Structures are given as C-alpha cells and as structure tokens.
Amino acid sequence: MKNILITGGSGYFGSKLAQRFCAMEGVERVVSLDIKAPAATPEKLLFVRADARQPLDDIFAENGIDTVVHAAWVLPPIHDKGLMEDINLGGTTNVLEASRRAGARRFFYTSSATAYGFHADNQCPLTEDSPLRGNDDFTYSKTKRIVEGLIAEFAARNPAMAVCWARPCFVVGPGFNNPLARHLQKRLAVLPRPSAAMQFVHEDDLTRAIVELLRAGARGPYNVGASGVMTTSEMVRALGGRPLPVPVGLLRPLNALAWALRLGFITEFPSPALKLMQHPWVVDSGKLERELGFAYAHDTRQAFAAFAEHVKAGRKKRRS
C-alpha cells in the first residue's frame, strides 16, 4: 500500500480513513476523491474534486494508485430514489472498472450489515454466510445488497486483485452524525414499538479493522461489530432524552406523511427505515477475530458512550 485512492474521502468515515492512512509509514500519497473538500488536509493528502461516476483513468495513472477504498455513498435517505441508486450503483461500477484498468492490487469496499436486511426472522447473530436480504423498500439496504453482488462477481473475474469488503453494524463515535444520530438526540424521541436491540462499532475500531484487512491482503466479506447490544430507549436516555414508544402500525403512516411533505423537523427518513429499529441485525465478527487476531477496543456500550459524551460536551459548550 503505497498510493491509496479513497472515494468519498471527505465524508464521515472516508475522512477518518484518509487521516489514518496519511499517518502510516510506507504510504506516500492518499488521493481523496469527493465532491466536497475535506475538513483537514494532511501532508500526504491530495484532494481531487470529482464524482465517483466520472472518468477516473487519468487520476489513477497520474498517482500510481495501487490500493482503492470505495467509501463514496449516498447515506442519508433522499427523496429521489433513482438518483440515489445511480450514484451508489453507477459509482461503484465505474470505480471497479477504473481499478481493473489501472491494475490496482487491492480493492476495499465499505459495505454494511444493512445488506442482510431488517427481518423478524433474521439469524442472530448473522454470519458472513447468512443470506443477503437487503430490503427492497429501503434504498440504502437494497443498494448495499446489490453492490455486494457486483463486488463478488468482480472479485471472481479478477483473481489477481485482493478484493475485500466489510459489513459493519452501525458506526458510532464523536463523528457520528446521520439521521438516526439526530433523531436519538431529540428531547422526546419517538421510537417504534416493538424495537430490537442494536449493535455498534466505534469509528476507530472500524478504521483499524479496515487497515488490518488491507495489510493482510484479505479477500471476501468480513462482519465488523463489537460485543453487546443496546435498546433504542437506552440510547435516548444516555443522550439525556425521553423515549416515546409508539406502535409501529400507527407510526409508519404518520412518518410516511411527514416524509412525503418533507417535514425534516419531524423525520429525516422514509418509513421503511423504521425496520432497522424494529428487527435484529446483530453480526458475528468471529471471522475477523480468528483470521486477523483482531480485538475491539470498545464494546457496543462503550462505543455509544463515546458518542453520548461528545454530544453532551457540545451542548455544554453551546450553553456557555
């Protein structure tokens, strides 16, 4: 790993990875490809403003890219499902083919445990051999499932390239800031009833896991998730709020109406996203631990506590 390209390098997780790579001995250049500039530009970082769907051959050639980390993705739900699918699917296909033409030696894709889907009959915990059933009515989960199929087919056609992908559960830490994070911070947080317990991984643990997988030249899928679970009510209380469980049969149509009317102060996600709080999707990361000897520095509760402490410190600072 000498010259690394990260798509989505200015995003929450892409930026964490870029900083980590820049601090590594042996890494000469980290090319961060994104449509927005990064918050920080370490010495080894080269920012390239580009969409993952654009022609990339020149960028690969000019920088001698040997390792690719594909983290560009539309994560927050948007109303234009077609655009979301075009960016997520089209971008991935484009980056894969550019990597092949450039002769990259390693390709890493940041997938998600959401590719397993949110179902009442999910295996618990889910292993890498569990079926991928990403929900068709939730675009994020659906496209993660579809892209994994594309990645697996690409890996089979290109055995000279070490193609690996991670399926992390929810990633938390001081940088955690997405629709779920903001919803849980509400003083009165509406939650679907019944709700399933959730699993987390600290952002630093996930970053470290990806670096170790790349160093090892690992291939195929790896679950990433710390031990333990938390209920949604526990999360809200840890953030100083009050949970308000509402029967899902009532909550779903009300949320759908608010989403359709674009009432962002009520909801930032479509009703199918409620399933991620309803049904279990806890992963078994034994493969990562056995093959690489990986050990998590934080369990689920400790990872969420790091996020909660950051939120509370921010509130205190704003009040002062």
| Domains of the chain with bracketed CATH | 3-173+200-226+282-300 (3.40.50.720)
Q: Is residue 141 predicted with pLDDT exceeding 80?
A: yes
Q: What is the pLDDT at residue 196?
A: 86
CA distance 290 to 87: 35
Per the CB < 8 A criterion, the answer to whether 46 and 29 are in contact is yes
Indicate if the alpha-carbon torsion angle 54, 55, 61, 62 is positive or negative: negative
How does 202-232 read in b/e, with b if 16+ C-beta sit within 10 Å? bbbbbbbbbbbbbeeebbebbbbbbebbbeb
Average pLDDT of the segment spanning 184-200:
93
In the predicted model, what is the mean pLDDT of the chain?
94
CA distance 292 to 216: 8
Q: Is residue 31 predicted with pLDDT exceeding 70?
A: yes
Q: Is residue 83 predicted with pLDDT exceeding 90?
A: no
Q: Give residue-wise pLDDT tens across range 276-292.
A: 999 999 999 999 999 99
CA distance 119 to 149: 20
Q: Which amino acid is at 104?
A: A
Q: Cite the DSSP H helix spans in the chain.
A: 12-22, 57-63, 81-85, 91-102, 139-157, 179-184, 203-215, 232-238, 248-260, 275-278, 286-292, 300-319
How does 65-93 read in b/e, with b if 16+ C-beta sit within 10 Å? bbbbbbbbbbeebeeeeeebeebbbebbe
Backbone angles phi, psi at 163, to 5 degrees: -105, 120
Q: What is the pLDDT at residue 77?
A: 75
CA distance 242 to 190: 9
The pTM of this model reads: 0.94
Q: Is 233 or 84 the better-scoring residue by pLDDT?
A: 233
Q: Is residue 76 predicted with pLDDT exceeding 70?
A: no
Q: Is residue 78 predicted with pLDDT exceeding 80?
A: no
Q: What is the pLDDT at residue 65?
A: 98
Q: At CA 75, angle to CA 224 and CA 296, rounded to 5?
A: 20
Q: Cite the DSSP H helix spans in 188-320.
A: 203-215, 232-238, 248-260, 275-278, 286-292, 300-319
What does the DSSP 8-state code read for residue 47? E
Average pLDDT of the segment spanning 79-105:
91
Residues paired with 167 in a beta bridge: 223
CA distance 21 to 188: 40
Q: What is the pLDDT at residue 12?
A: 87
Backbone angles phi, psi at 175, to 5 degrees: -90, 0
Average pLDDT of the segment spanning 114-139:
96
Backbone angles phi, psi at 44, to 5 degrees: -85, -5
CA distance 227 to 5: 31
Q: What is the pLDDT at residue 308?
A: 96
Rg (CA), the chain: 19
CA distance 61 to 47: 15
Q: What is the pLDDT at residue 33?
A: 96
Q: What is the pLDDT at residue 75?
A: 67
Q: Is residue 307 predicted with pLDDT exceeding 90?
A: yes
Burial of 163 (0-12, 13-18, 19+ CB in 10 A): buried
The residues near 49 (Cβ < 8 Å, ≥ 6 apart) are: 34, 35, 36, 37
Give Cα separations from 103 to 26, 106, 183, 188 (angstroms): 20, 9, 43, 52
